[in-house]
Amino acid sequence: MAKITETLSIQQARKLVLLSQRVPPIKQTGGAVEATLSAIEHLAYIQIDTISAIQRAHHHTLWNRNPHYKTSHLDQLIADKKIFEYWSHAAAYLPMCDFRYSLHRKQALLTGNQNHWYVRDKQLMRFVLKRIAAEGPLMAKDFVNTGKKRGEWTTKPAKQALECLFMQGELMVSSRINFHKVYDLTERVLPSTINISVPTQEEYARFLITRYLRANGLGQATEIAYLLKNTKPFISASLLEMHSAGELLQINVDGNTYFALPATLELLSCSLVRNKLKILSPFDNLLIQRKRMKALFDFNYQIECYVPEAKRQYGYFSLPILWDGKLVARMDCKAERKESLLHIQHLALESCLVKTDAFTLALSKELESFMQFNNCSNLKLHRTTPTNFKPILQTAVNSLIR
């Protein structure tokens, strides 16, 4: 293996990651919708999530990259065929220009080389496909429910058939209505100019590597292959080949080896906005790989909505807070939209936070924007850790309470 070519401090590595992730956001030219598309194309995906304690994760992640973001942008970009829904490591919005690279998974599912999470009912799938071909775009509710209830969940065979057809590429999501998918034939959704040739394994590996490193600054094979089944072996091989060819650098950070695009190191000469605070989604691209956040940011994070209430340390939906180039706090929030009230159930400071006065000022400024983003005009602070921080923050945010 070629020798390590660069050694970076943990502070330099964090700077590269944050600048590559564009959080805090960079200055952009053009309109607000174009800025949203630029963010999606740069990050390569935006994870879709259903939890609505505050604005859903896909909106939240984009708002943190584009201060002028509106929740209508995604619908517009879908309608304009600039983005599409499919699977990254999870359900996501993807740039339409990357459509060709979704075909690797679709082909594997279609040929049986990869299993669906639903059993394929081929007869029902043909029926569903025939109806959509004849009638146009349909939702799951447009099919009769012949399933059985299992606890709180309803098994709907037609929904499973729709998802199988979607995952193997015969259907696409043409829009959403009240967050419910509307499915249509792929040929009616896909722009005619899009390349639909299936990439080779090498092309797919190089795409995953370059996309990940461009958006994340530094990466390892395990991180690049995160939840992408059966990809790690050929990603590992391509990383070594690209490094040997001089297309990638090896970087040592705190004893760990990462790969980076050579141009990425130029970011070290750029300024990182440290006084701007950002309240992040648990599903933000920066945070989604928890082991990576522990290694690079010394931030041990677990989303606790899946943890029994009695065992929660920080709260149901605690939001990591980025400030001064570090993850310095987490804030459990809930928006009561009918009352226009944002609850801060629990704000917990990390031990690394020492400049509390400057942090408090930055947080109060960002909370004003965060309230507007969540359609709230009032705020209620319930609890802080440490407890003596509550009156300090309460004084700072009193001006936000109407």
Q: What is the pLDDT of residues 64-97, one digit of tens each?
A: 999 999 999 999 999 999 999 999 999 999 999 9
Residue 145: the pLDDT is 66
Closest CA to 347 of 288, 396, 308, 298: 396
CB neighbour class for 340 (10 Å; exposed up to 12, middle 13-18, buried from 19):
middle
Cβ neighbours around 29 below 10 Å, total: 7
Whole-angstrom distance, CA of residue 125 vs CA of residue 172? 14
**Which residue type is seen at 328?**
V
Residue 146: the pLDDT is 56
Cβ neighbours around 123 below 10 Å, total: 9
**Is pLDDT above 50 for 1?**
no
Residue 332: the pLDDT is 97
Whole-angstrom distance, CA of residue 347 vs CA of residue 382? 9
Record the tokens describing residue 280, joined without a space: 């992040």
Q: Answer with the residue of higher pLDDT: 136 or 28.
A: 136
pLDDT digits over 338-356, tens only? 999 999 999 999 999 999 9
Closest CA to 249 of 86, 16, 56, 76: 16
> Directed axis angle between helix 201-216 and helix 232-244, to 10°?
80
The phi and psi torsions of 127 (rounded to 5 degrees) equal -65, -45
pLDDT category at 151 given cuts 50, 70, 90 is very low
The residue-averaged pLDDT of 198-206 equals 96
Whole-angstrom distance, CA of residue 128 vs CA of residue 158? 7
The answer to whether 367 and 401 have CB atoms below 8 angstroms apart is no
Tokens 């790989």, residue located: 289
pLDDT digits over 212-241, tens only? 999 999 999 999 999 998 899 999 999 999
Asked if the peptide bond before residue 262 counts as cis, ω within 30 degrees of 0, the response is no
Residue 119: the pLDDT is 83
Residue 229: the pLDDT is 87
Mean pLDDT of the chain: 93
DSSP character at residue 355: -
Asked if the peptide bond before residue 24 counts as cis, ω within 30 degrees of 0, the response is yes
In DSSP terms, which residues pair with 250 in a beta bridge?
Answer: 259
**Is pLDDT above 80 for 52?**
yes
Residue 398: the pLDDT is 86
Whole-angstrom distance, CA of residue 114 vs CA of residue 162? 17
Residue 48: the pLDDT is 97
**Is pLDDT above 60 for 258?**
yes
Residue 4: the pLDDT is 55
Whole-angstrom distance, CA of residue 228 vs CA of residue 290? 16
**β-bridge pairing 153-154 and 91-95:** unpaired
**Is pLDDT above 70 for 125?**
yes
CB neighbour class for 43 (10 Å; exposed up to 12, middle 13-18, buried from 19):
buried
The answer to whether 220 and 257 have CB atoms below 8 angstroms apart is yes
Record the tokens describing residue 144, joined without a space: 């009769």
Whole-angstrom distance, CA of residue 52 vs CA of residue 334? 9
Whole-angstrom distance, CA of residue 211 vs CA of residue 214? 5
pLDDT digits over 281-338, tens only? 999 999 999 999 999 999 999 999 999 999 999 999 999 999 999 999 999 999 999 9
Helix (H) or strand (E) holding 309: none
DSSP string, 93-141: EEEGGGGGGGHHHHHHHHTTSS--SS---HHHHHHHHHHHHHH--B-GG
The answer to whether 380 and 341 have CB atoms below 8 angstroms apart is yes
**pLDDT over 70 percentage in the chain:** 96
Q: Answer with the residue of higher pLDDT: 27 or 192.
A: 192
